[in-house]
Structure 1
């Protein structure tokens, strides 16, 4: 039981840090360009993530390497990329 409570708390922390990175932690912030209802963002430059519904791997690849007009984010650690990718995938309905 204690392990499941710890796992749930850890998952919530990851979602919170992923959301923070999306909204303002990454530079430039993802929310400037992308629409994602869960984050309250209405960016009009990049694709709407609510419509695209990317999975974790797709988000991580775009964040690490860039995609089209989107720049790469080399300043983010692997842990930050994973937290951000999991958040976007979950919040958009793209899965874990």
Structure 2
């Protein structure tokens, strides 16, 4: 480049750094859940980790991103607005037996 050779003593990949920065950017925001699911990471929240009781997710397997607990239900408004959808057939599973 015009600035000379680009060097770095950092280890790890650019993708890892991008994901870390994205995680920081989405901290506490709803969009983070999609990254967790797509990257098959899962997560754990416990009171021992300092999470308040209201933030704990109980009865769901949040460590397994392939669990149906990660599948969002289709909103009722979508069924109301589309006569081709049948809620008894087209709704996403709401439980995986956990």
Q: Please, what TM-score do these two structures have when normalized by structure 2?
A: 0.29
Structure exhibiting the larger radius of gyration computed from Cα positions: 2
Going by fraction, where is helix more abundant, 1 or 2? 1
Q: Could you say which structure has the greater relative contact order, defined with CA pairs below 8 angstroms and 6 or more residues apart?
A: 1
Q: Please, what TM-score do these two structures have when normalized by structure 1?
A: 0.29
